[in-house]
Amino acid sequence: MKHRTGYLYTRAGIWYLQYRVGGKKFAVSLKTALRDEAETERARIMDGIRTTNEAQTLQRVVDKLSAARAELARNVAPIGDAWRIYLRSPARPDSGVATLEQYAAEWQRFARWLAREAPGIQTLAQVTERHAMGYAGTLAGMAASTFNQHIGFLALMWRVLDIQPAPWRKIQRKRRSMEGRRELSLEEIRNVFAGADGEMRVLFFLGLYTGLRLGDCCLLRWAAVDLAGGVIRIVPAKTSRSGKRVSIPIHPELVAALGTARDGYVVPGLAKFYLHNRAGVVKVIGKHFLKCGIETQESRGANATSAAKWPLAPQRGDVGRTEERKDGSRANGKRNDGKRARCVVGFHSLRHTFVSLCRQAGAPLAIVEAIVGHSSPAMTRHYTHVGDEASRAAVGMLPSFAAAKPGNATK
């Protein structure tokens, strides 16, 4: 017990304290000839030594735990098990089903690239900035938002699994170009439907008659489609964190396009394609528009090509057309400073077209907003309670394109 309590002894009538710390022996004079004073001083000195030892012991434990944690990250996050480990991690964000599917596809793409270009890499900790830069180079052709989301997820995965150093930190995110999506004219819509068949035709019907974004249409599941009740209930991926669900009445033409209800995805082939290569789906859609005689890009400084195609001018506050963005732009392609931004036509144009058609048919703005699930606080304050019958009436106002048969696109 000497090393814990110390050992008192006298020399020439003076009390001394002998003790050990870290295996070394120390002796100190207590400068008193009285036993009681020597005991009090011994207790004071030894208490201080014990406190110091405990703190040092705890620090050693912390250091060992940190080292073990780093070693665990290096050895228990092999490339083949990384996705499973990510899913089980309590540190990951609570993402929606559609978002997780997108993350899985992005991880699988990176894992395949890594296996092909750097087969010697076995764990996440072995991925360097050089690998990250090399992989980011393969994503150069993606749209800015797609590129940023892809790199953003990989950076998130490293943070959640606490893999240091993070190889993605130096990759600059792309600056999103200022683009607007114009709506399509009735003639253009007919050409789009006439030139499409199979799942692509169903996808266009979903976009036009629901106003859903591309990802939500591609990843729509039959479980969200209530054909008997005539409604689609879905939490859009863009607002999945809020859990806000939208209910969209199913237009009679969309019912015919969907066909018989099944399990899984409504457009399974496109869903697989979208999860594997979202940019590829966007390119296919762009090529289809070009085939139908619809220019997908508009030169800067050019006048709007769609302004005269609609009998009604857009009303201030219409969703997707004149709403003000944080960067000072407006969604119809014009900036507040009067400069003309590049305007493109893409799948998102169907969302704008859905809103425009509903508004032209006289559907109240609050009803249209509730159907498309607009998330802008500036627009939310205009909401009123929207019943199912009002929503159904709004969608029922949309025109029919049954005459646009597959394969008859105007060249």
Question: Tens digits of per-residue pLDDT, 106-116?
Answer: 999 999 999 99
Q: Please report the pLDDT score of residue 289 as a whole number.
A: 92
Q: Rounded to 5 degrees, what are φ and ψ at 199?
A: -65, -30
Strands 24-29, 179-181: pairing is unpaired
Coil/strand/helix, residue 381: coil
Contact (Cβ atoms closer than 8 angstroms) between residue 159 and residue 368: no
Q: How many residues does the chain have?
A: 411
Q: Please report the pLDDT score of residue 100 as a whole number.
A: 87
Residues 6+ apart with CB under 8 A from 343: 179, 180, 181, 182, 297, 298, 304, 333
Q: Please report the pLDDT score of residue 301 as a whole number.
A: 45
**Domain extent listing, the chain:** 2-75, 79-160, 179-396
Pick the CATH number of 2-75 from 3.30.450, 1.20.1250, 3.10.620, 3.30.160: 3.30.160
Residues 6+ apart with CB under 8 A from 335: 178, 328, 329, 341
Sheet strands (E) in 198-355: 225-226, 231-234, 246-249, 297-298, 342-344
With CA atoms as reference, report the closest residue to 19 among 45, 41, 44.
Answer: 45
Contact (Cβ atoms closer than 8 angstroms) between residue 124 and residue 164: no
pTM for the model stands at 0.54
- Quote the tokens at residue 374: 């607009």
| pLDDT digit string, tens, across residues 168-204 | 988 988 876 545 677 888 888 889 988 898 999 999 9
Count CB-CB contacts under 10 A for residue 201.
Answer: 20
State how far Cα 347 lies from the chain centre: 19
Place of tokens 């627009």: 379
Largest Cα–Cα distance in the chain? Answer: 118
With CA atoms as reference, report the closest residue to 118 among 167, 67, 73, 170.
Answer: 167
pLDDT tens, N- to C-terminus, the chain (411 residues) = 344 668 899 988 899 988 887 678 888 888 898 989 888 988 888 887 777 666 666 776 676 666 665 555 554 568 888 999 999 889 898 887 778 888 998 999 999 999 999 998 988 888 999 999 999 999 877 778 788 889 999 999 999 988 888 899 889 888 765 456 778 888 888 899 888 989 999 999 999 998 899 999 999 999 999 988 889 998 888 777 677 788 888 888 888 888 776 789 999 999 999 988 888 898 899 999 999 988 877 654 434 333 333 333 333 333 333 333 334 333 444 444 444 445 578 898 888 888 888 877 777 777 777 777 765 544 433 333 344 555 666 666 676 665 556 655 444
- Quote the tokens at residue 58: 């705890």
Q: Please report the pLDDT score of residue 302 as a whole number.
A: 39
Tell me how far apart the alpha carbons of residues 94 and 241 are, in angstroms, rounded to a whole number: 8
Q: Please report the pLDDT score of residue 338 as a whole number.
A: 44
| Per CATH, domain 179-396 is 3.20.20.80 | no
Residues 6+ apart with CB under 8 A from 373: 236, 239, 244, 246
Q: Please report the pLDDT score of residue 271 as a whole number.
A: 93
Q: Tell me the C-alpha to C-alpha distance, in Å, between residue 25 and each of 15, 17, 55, 176, 329.
A: 17, 11, 20, 69, 77
Helix (H) or strand (E) holding 151: helix 144-160
Q: Please report the pLDDT score of residue 265 as a whole number.
A: 93
For residue 309, the one-letter residue type is K
